[in-house]
């Protein structure tokens, strides 16, 4: 599976196409950036291993290069006691380079934020009262598809159990029709505590109606064999 995924990304990385901006209001594109004063709502519902999780993300375009947002979710465990709220995630994206800023038309963003509070049954790891993170996202948009990669470092400051981990995520996103898209991504997490190492493979299908997108997704984690299925609604105001 990992070899197959690597081959898929390699094939599209060497594809030749004329770079242009992606379709309007394509909020599922991994390189999408909100305009000034735009508000983006992302509502999610995910199910796995008899756990149902509902989440909400709101972000606001401060200007053409900076977006700030907040995210939280609540989960119900039908077979146990892992109920409660996640940590509240406050973060932002700053666009360092836009496609029009350089001859290569590469896009790059700086990511930053922190997570606070939440139930120990829900947050990861359970002892993390606060988590700080920063990262870099980069890629390129073509008419038919987008290729992107994200590297994000996370730090947990705890006198006894402090740790850090790095997430690396390549993504491929295809516009198969004016109102339909599909996406593939792979996340590799390497932690200072090996118990928190993870490898996720994800796929999503997107249907767009104007400024609203309806998304279905499925994700598989190699270490635990967990399979998550879910739905998401993106609304751009």
| pLDDT tens-digit map of 97-149 | 999 999 999 999 999 999 999 998 888 888 898 999 999 999 999 999 999 99
Q: What is the rounded average pLDDT of the residues 169-179?
A: 96
Record the tokens describing residue 163, joined without a space.
Answer: 């740790």
Query: In this structure, is residue 38 part of a structural domain?
Result: no
Query: In this structure, is residue 154 part of a structural domain?
Result: yes
**Residue 120: which residues within 8 A CB-CB, separation 6 or more?**
126, 127
Q: Which residue has the tokens 């920063």?
A: 134
Domain that holds residue 10: 2-32+95-236
Q: Which residues of 37-52 are buried (b: 16+ CB within 10 A; e: fewer)?
A: ebebbbebebebeebe
> In the prediction, which pLDDT does 48 show?
95
Query: In this structure, is residue 134 part of a structural domain?
Result: yes
Instruction: Report the C-alpha gap between 106 and 18 in whole angstroms.
Output: 13
Cα–Cα distances in Å, from 201 out to 101, 183, 186, 218? 32, 11, 5, 9
Q: What is the rounded average pLDDT of the residues 46-55?
A: 96
Query: In this structure, is residue 108 part of a structural domain?
Result: yes
Q: What is the rounded average pLDDT of the residues 10-27?
A: 54
Query: In this structure, is residue 22 part of a structural domain?
Result: yes
> In the prediction, which pLDDT does 4 show?
46
Task: Please check the confidence at residue 181 and state whether its pLDDT lies above 60.
Answer: yes
Query: In this structure, is residue 165 part of a structural domain?
Result: yes
Instruction: Report the C-alpha gap between 44 and 75 in whole angstroms.
Output: 11
**Residue 201: which residues within 8 A CB-CB, separation 6 or more?**
1, 5, 185, 186, 219, 220, 222
Query: In this structure, is residue 128 part of a structural domain?
Result: yes
Query: In this structure, is residue 198 part of a structural domain?
Result: yes
**Range with lowest mean pLDDT among 44-48, 145-149, 156-160:** 156-160
| Count of domains forming the chain | 1
């Amino acid at each position: 599976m990992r070899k197959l995924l690597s081959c898929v990304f390699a094939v599209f990385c060497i594809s030749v196409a004329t770079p242009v901006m992606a379709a309007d209001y394509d909020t599922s594109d991994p390189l999408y950036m909100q305009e000034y004063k735009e508000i983006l709502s992302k509502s999610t519902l995910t199910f796995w291993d008899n756990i149902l999780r509902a989440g909400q993300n709101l972000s606001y375009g401060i200007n053409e290069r900076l977006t700030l947002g907040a995210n939280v979710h609540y989960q119900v465990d039908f077979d146990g006691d892992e109920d409660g709220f996640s940590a509240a995630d406050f973060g932002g994206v700053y666009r360092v380079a836009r496609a029009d800023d350089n001859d290569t038309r590469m896009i790059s963003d700086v990511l930053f934020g922190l997570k606070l509070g939440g139930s120990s049954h829900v947050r990861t790891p359970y002892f993390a009262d606060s988590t700080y993170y920063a990262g870099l996202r980069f890629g390129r948009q073509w008419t038919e598809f987008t290729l992107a990669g994200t590297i994000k470092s996370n730090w947990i400051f705890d006198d006894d159990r402090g740790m850090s981990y790095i997430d690396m995520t390549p993504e491929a996103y295809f516009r198969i029709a004016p109102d339909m898209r599909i996406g593939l991504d792979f996340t590799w997490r390497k932690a200072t505590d090996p118990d928190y190492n993870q490898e996720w493979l994800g796929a999503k299908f997107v249907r767009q109606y104007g400024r609203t997108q309806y998304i279905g997704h499925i994700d598989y984690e190699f270490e635990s064999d967990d399979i998550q299925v879910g739905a998401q609604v993106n609304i751009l105001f």
